[in-house]
Amino acid sequence: MSKRQYTSLAGVYDDLNVDFDYARYAEFLSKMIKKYEKTDTSLVLDLACGTGKITFELRSLGYDMTGIDISENMLCEARERCYRENITDILWLCQSMQEFELYGTVDACVCTLDGINYLTDKKDLEKCFSLVHNYLIPDGVFIFDINTPYKFENIYADNSYVLENEGVLCAWQNEYNARSRICKFYLSIFTENDDGTYERNDEVQREKCYSKRQISDMLKKCGFELLDIKGDLDGKNAEDTDEKWYFVARNIK
């Protein structure tokens, strides 16, 4: 994922995802952490945290949070919320998923909302998993989701979508290459000015489609034990027709 991605989208990202239930997702993460942790979890890393919506929700559940994202614009949105709400106990770091550095270890790591799919090179995926392994305590829990092959092939494909909220519209055209398994998202974001005119900004994003086997093999290679794969936030077992898979792994040292 490059720093150029989420440059135009950062300021309107939350507006376009206003219906997403971040609190429910955070509760799912906490439930999985508590189910599989071997010691009490306090310090949690939110990798590819974006505007910090999950970070804030996990903080509200009592976790000591660090958020990492490569996009300065996304982190500016998170820091602005901290300023508005006088939140001073979250550490924000502008770093990439495959090259981040921490000041010490964490008890658990989460990476949500298809952050892993933005690692379009398997070498970067390995670097990311290896760094998570390095900074997690022994037996620490790593939870992340990915967009599934079913979603890339049937939902994304070469389809077009429009996301809209008051004062903002995002026109979204997909281009999926079945051979490279990379989908390009061509985004045109229209934001309303005070005088009623609209300003347009364009952005291109890329995601990689990974199979269960590829993710499972990479986790094993990087020192993790795969504990579970869920198909939704209700905790059902993963199926091939799911749009997302939720992986739960344990750090083995």
Domain parsing of the chain, residue ranges = 10-147+210-251, 151-208
As a whole number of angstroms, the distance between CA 91 and CA 47 comes to 12
Compute the radius of gyration of the chain from its Cα atoms: 18
**Is residue 6 over pLDDT 90?**
no
pTM over 0.85: yes
pLDDT at 89: 97
Residue 170 forms beta bridges with which residues? 163, 189
Q: Two tokens at 150?
A: 């079913």
3 confidence band (pLDDT: 50, 70, 90): very low
**Is residue 178 over pLDDT 80?**
yes
As a whole number of angstroms, the distance between CA 42 and CA 108 comes to 8
CB 244 within 8 A of CB 234: no
Does the domain formed by 10-147+210-251 have CATH 3.40.50.2300? Answer: no
Q: Which fold has domain 151-208?
A: N-terminal domain of TfIIb (2.20.25)
Mean pLDDT of 37-60: 97
Report which DSSP code applies to 207: E
Mean pLDDT of 33-53: 97
pLDDT at 181: 98
120 confidence band (pLDDT: 50, 70, 90): very high
pLDDT at 2: 43
In the Cβ-directed half-sphere of 192, how many Cα atoms lie within 13 Å? Answer: 10
pLDDT at 168: 84
